[in-house]
Amino acid sequence: MKENFEHYISRSIRSFYQHRIVSPIIFLAILALLAFFYPVSNLMRPASASGEDDIEKLYQDNDRYIEITLKDLYFTGYTKRWLDSTVGYYYYTVMGDDCIMVLLNPDDSQQGLPTIDKIMIRGKILYNSHAMSKLLLYLSEDLAWSQNGITSTISPYMISQPDATDLATTLFKLVYILSGLYAFISIIRYAIYIAFPVLSVPVQRLRCYGKPREILAEAEEELATLPQLATEDMFITEHYFIETSNYGVAIVPISQIIWIYKYSTLHKFLWHHFSISYTLHITAAKRQYIHCPKNIKSDIDGIMDYLAEANHDILVGFNEANRLKVEEIQGDLAPFKKFWAFLSKKV
C-alpha cells in the first residue's frame, strides 16, 4: 500500500495535466495547418508591393495581402454597395503600362474624392473578380468601348482595401491571434505543472490555509503511510480529504470543511434510462468549492459519514437551513447587509 501511494498526489497532478495539454497542442497544430494551406501569415504580415509586376508575382506566389503606396488615383464614379451601405469607392491608377482598379474604403477616399495624389493602403489582390467584370461592363458602356477593348487596357488584377480591412477579416485576425496565444500559454502552464506539481492550481489554492508546499508534503506522507478511507478516486487521511479523478485533483484540510452534500444525476438517452451517478459537493472555508462527479452512492455515503465523524462542525446534506448557515459563515451576505444599512441611514 505504501509503495502504491508514494507521491500519489503529485503523480495524479502530472497525469491530469498530461491529458489536458493535448488539446492546446492539437489546436496549435490546426492553426499551423491553417496557416500552411491558407495565406494566414500573409494576412497578418502583408507583403510589400510597388508596381503591377510585383502584384502579379505576389498573387502567383499566393501572397494576396499587400501594403502599397499608390499615386494619382482617379475616381471612376462607381461605388460598391452592400445592404444599402457603401462599402468602397472604385478608383483607377496607372502602373507602368497598365491601368489598375483600386477599391478604397469610404473614410480613406473621403467619400469619393475626384482625385487622390498619394495614399498608402493595406489591400487584397483580386484577379478577374465578378465585381471587376461588372465594373468593366459599366465603364465600357459609359466610354462607348467594347468590353474586350476595355479589358485589354485594364489589368485583370484589382486591389481591394475593404477585403483586407473589413470587420470579418479583423475579427478573424483577432480570434486567430488570441486563440493561438491562449493555446500557447496553456501549453507552457501545463508543462510547468507537469514538471513542478507544487506550482499547479490544486496545490496553490491551498495558500489560504498555509504554505502549499508543506501542505502537499504532509498530505503525500499521510496518503503514502495509510489512507483511513479510500475509494477509486477519493481518499481520506488523518487531516485531509483528497480527490484524484479525471476531472481534477483537490486537497482540502478536513478541519476547514464547512458543508458536504451529494447530488444525483440521471443519465439517459431519449427514453432509455442508463444509470444514476452521484456528485459530492464540498464547501470549505475561504470560499473553496470542490466537486467530485460521477461516483457511486455507497462511496459518497462512506466519505460523507467519515468526514462528519472526523469533524463534528461539518454541515451534512443539502437543505435551506444549511445553505443559509454557510452564507452566514462565509460572510456572503455581509456586503449586501452593509449596503442595506447604508441605504437605511440615508432614508
**pLDDT tens column, 105-157:** 998 888 889 999 999 999 999 998 888 888 888 888 777 777 677 777 788 88
Indicate if 156 and 215 belong to the same structural domain.
Answer: no
Domain final position from 131, 150, 165: 165
Q: What is the pLDDT of residue 111?
A: 87
Domain final position from 130, 146, 165: 165
Residues in the chain: 347
**φ, ψ dihedrals at 338, nearest 5°:** -65, -40
Q: What is the pLDDT of residues 173-190, one digit of tens each?
A: 999 999 999 999 999 999
Q: Average pLDDT in the 18-36 region? A: 94
Look at residue 2 and tell me whether its pLDDT is greater than 50.
Answer: no
Q: What is the pLDDT of residues 326-336, one digit of tens each?
A: 988 887 655 55
Q: Average pLDDT in the 279-288 region? A: 93
The domain that holds 323 is classified in CATH as 2.30.29
For residue 44, give the amino acid letter: M
Helices 8-20 + 167-195 axis angle, to 10: 160
Q: Average pLDDT in the 206-215 region? A: 95
Indicate if 142 and 244 belong to the same structural domain.
Answer: no
Other Cβ atoms within 10 Å of 140 Cβ, number: 17
Strand, coil or helix: 17:
helix
Confidence of residue 346 (pLDDT cuts 50, 70, 90): very low
Rounded Cα–Cα distance for residues 140 and 127 (Å): 19
Q: Is residue 317 part of a domain?
A: yes
Q: Average pLDDT in the 286-293 region? A: 91
Name residue, grid cell 439517459.
Answer: 268
Q: Is residue 200 part of a domain?
A: no
Q: Is residue 2 part of a domain?
A: no
Q: Is residue 318 part of a domain?
A: yes
State how far the alpha carbon of 283 is from the alpha carbons of 68, 219, 292, in Å.
61, 19, 12
Q: What is the pLDDT of residue 267?
A: 64
Indicate if 235 and 314 belong to the same structural domain.
Answer: yes
**How many domains would you assign to the chain?**
2
Rounded Cα–Cα distance for residues 252 and 193 (Å): 19
Indicate if 47 and 142 belong to the same structural domain.
Answer: yes
Q: What is the pLDDT of residues 90-101, one digit of tens each?
A: 999 988 778 889
Indicate if 255 and 319 belong to the same structural domain.
Answer: yes
CB contact at 8 A, 256 and 289: no
Q: Is residue 141 part of a domain?
A: yes
Domain final position from 165, 194, 226: 165
For residue 204, give the amino acid letter: Q
C-alpha cell belonging to residue 140? 465600357
Name residue, grid cell 485583370.
Answer: 156
Indicate if 161 and 237 belong to the same structural domain.
Answer: no
Strand, coil or helix: 73:
strand
What is the maximal distance between C-alpha atoms in the chain?
A: 97
C-alpha cell belonging to residue 262? 451529494
Indicate if 239 and 144 belong to the same structural domain.
Answer: no
Rounded Cα–Cα distance for residues 128 and 118 (Å): 25
Name residue, grid cell 489591400.
Answer: 123
Domain containing residue 46? 41-165
Q: Is residue 180 part of a domain?
A: no
Which distant-in-sequence residues (6+ apart) come within 8 Å of 270 by Cβ?
none
Q: Is residue 99 part of a domain?
A: yes
Rounded Cα–Cα distance for residues 328 and 37 (Å): 58
Stretch among 48-52, 200-204, 285-289, 343-347 having the lowest mean pLDDT: 343-347
* CA Rg value for the chain: 33
Indicate if 272 and 154 belong to the same structural domain.
Answer: no
Q: Is residue 271 part of a domain?
A: yes
pTM of the model: 0.78
Rounded Cα–Cα distance for residues 212 and 208 (Å): 9
Other Cβ atoms within 10 Å of 83 Cβ, number: 5
The proportion of the chain whose per-residue pLDDT surpasses 70, expressed as a percent, equals 90
